Structure 1
């Protein structure tokens, strides 16, 4: 955990992402179709077919608490990386697990980030949330990170990987030290999904970190931004064993209480 925090701190200072690499091919195609359908001043879509139109003013979203918040283990979170695969939440005595919520994804993201990072712009969608023309395929959370180079936005999706997914260096995929598939794609002409890193966990949980070079739609434009993390740091985040597709109702209630007024990602 300590090494990860130190490494990420160094990477945030450099912000010169080296090549890395699981994103579903169909998701990429959806993003490209969405990209072609919009003008450059109306950037939208995501690696998992989510459109971005969240009002953002100076890094602060309506419904969020304060402008910036320090996150990570020192702020009450859990350690970043402890093992390649974490335990699946246990069902409660009264019922089965439920689909993880966007708020729970956000909680996991913030708890996994190294201590001391300044974050803002929180927003989230659940898997069944529909906003306007688009709907989230999987739960997703949005976070802005303040870097030495400026403000950067990322969105983190948690879904299930295809059991037939192959991993080849020819399509931007490699395996990390735990044997998990790590895939990186770049969409240079779409600032919302400029760099997308997906890790396929041993239990087939797929965590995608979509990093933007602009901020969320503010009603007029996508203001310029910077990559919030390097590709290596995004892969470390996506590999965190705390991410799961399911949660207990108690975990969902705790996340909802922690973020009682999250705006949606429209």
Structure 2
């Protein structure tokens, strides 16, 4: 399996004694040249008077944007410590050890507007840049990264199941091939709440549930799934389990079902629907 995660919107700065980033040491070193180009363009854009507008963030994040000008010398920490938020807290990637940690290193890729993709243990500094930005000197980041990510990930995904937990901007940067020599079974993960016979899409709890699924796939004793049906079977191991707490009410919720919906056309993903109640 190949689990594709989005970065968290907020990033936690590394301790001051962390070493600076070593681009050549990051996963997929063939992305180094593009990482260099984006890093330089981001530093230039972040020094502009209109930097927050260029990067599509509020004025209250001006300090984080200014930090982008110092990323080459900024301290680093493992990506699992830098990326924080609901999905990452639920997945517990930083707490993995032994076989589960090795599985995460092989099977998890975190997508980034700055780095392209990183593995959980890759050491990076905190930064502010989303994939939806059009960066002066580089262009739209999803478009700019697409050929590089295709070259870096096509062989890894081929013949496997891609478990896609990303948001749309990051999906735009790389879509697995579903036909041809590098075909994979591409499955997006959707979370819905069931109440009184009705199912509705959720947001906060969706991130948490995707994190729970990620953690489960990495920690379970069985071999990783390599097909959409294998992924469905693994997800159904969570049926009936209390997996989280609703925001606002404090009430717990369970996963009550997992269903696989077939792709509706070529180059489109299957959908793994996780139902919570």
TM-score by length of 1: 0.25
Q: Which has the higher helix share?
A: 2
Larger relative contact order (C-alpha < 8 A, sep ≥ 6)? 1
TM-score by length of 2: 0.24
Larger Rg: 2
